[in-house]
Amino acid sequence: MKVQYNNRRQFLKRTALFTVAGFGATALSSSSLLANDAVDSVTIDDHETAFAGPFTLPALPYDYAALEPSIDKQTMQIHHDKHHQAYVDNLNKAVTEAKIETTNLADLCKNVSRYPAAVRNNGGGHYNHSLFWTWMKSGGGGTPSGKLADAINGQFGSFNDFKTKFSAAGMARFGSGWAWLVANNGKLEIGSTPNQDNPLMDVSDFKGTPLLGLDVWEHAYYLKYQNKRADYIAAFWNVVNWDEVAKLFAAV
């Protein structure tokens, strides 16, 4: 069937029907971002037409001001509406130009060495930020519990030792990048990646399934914390959504 779309809105409306939760405008679930079988492809009759913009900006799962005072409203607005939106837009451009057929973001990351740099940068940007929003919540923080707490204590000695090590990974990342807690071969590991790389990427030295990530790009903290990355990292612990981390941990 040949379908013509009169405009982008109509196109998006149609493709949204075929896009599995995880990338829709409202349904954001970090576990679907990580699952291998999530979002396999946009199955639509007219493949050529469909293949023009399958990625969409997920809505923030809370208000812009929800993470105040740890992360300020204006930073959240710009970070989500401008930075993340740009990754989505540029990823759509990049996959169209490179004629990449998969819309599975995890698969794109895992095979990123095959694709142009724009896919690595913007696919990573879209993936990382989509998860990042879910790793925080209003009234978050505190400590993990249950099996996740046991695993953290077992691997790092104590929750405080874990926090210290994760914070150090964020501080040690020179320039822009991310700090991560991952599960790798049944072990928890802490590390970092440059730019918008992530531990799923075949090009990454640090690998695993992300359980928690922290954006340490200056755009994530400069408005409120200026050059004081350490203060931003300290504040991050007040908003961590441990329920989400535990959910991801349970899935690996």
Contacting residues toward Mn ion, per CB under 5 A: 215, 217, 220
Closest CA to 244 of 14, 31, 8: 31
- Nearest distance, CB of residue 132 and Mn ion, angstroms: 7
Reply yes or no: is the peptide bond before residue 194 cis, omega within 30 of 0: no
Which residues, 6+ apart, have CB-to-CB distance to 234 below 8 Å? Answer: 167
Nearer to Mn ion, 206 or 217 (CB): 217
- Nearest distance, CB of residue 178 and Mn ion, angstroms: 9
- Nearest distance, CB of residue 69 and Mn ion, angstroms: 19
Nearer to Mn ion, 197 or 215 (CB): 215
**Inter-residue long-range contacts of 162-165, CB under 8 Å, 24+ positions, other chains counted:** 162/190, 163/237, 165/190
- Nearest distance, CB of residue 219 and Mn ion, angstroms: 5
Nearer to Mn ion, 32 or 128 (CB): 128
Nearer to Mn ion, 51 or 221 (CB): 221
With residues binned 3-state (H G I as helix, E B as strand, rest as coil), the percentages for the chain, rounded to 5, are 50, 10, 40
Nearer to Mn ion, 107 or 215 (CB): 215
- Nearest distance, CB of residue 3 and Mn ion, angstroms: 35
- Nearest distance, CB of residue 135 and Mn ion, angstroms: 12
Decide: 122 and 84 in contact? Cβ < 8 Å. Answer: no
Alpha carbon distance 129, 134 (integer Å): 9
Instruction: For residue 108, give both structure tokens.
Output: 């794109």
Listed in sequence order, the DSSP H helices in the chain are 8-16, 30-34, 47-50, 73-77, 85-97, 105-110, 117-134, 146-156, 159-172, 222-225, 229-236, 242-251
Nearer to Mn ion, 156 or 180 (CB): 180
Alpha carbon distance 29, 61 (integer Å): 10
What is the DSSP-derived secondary structure letter of residue 193? E
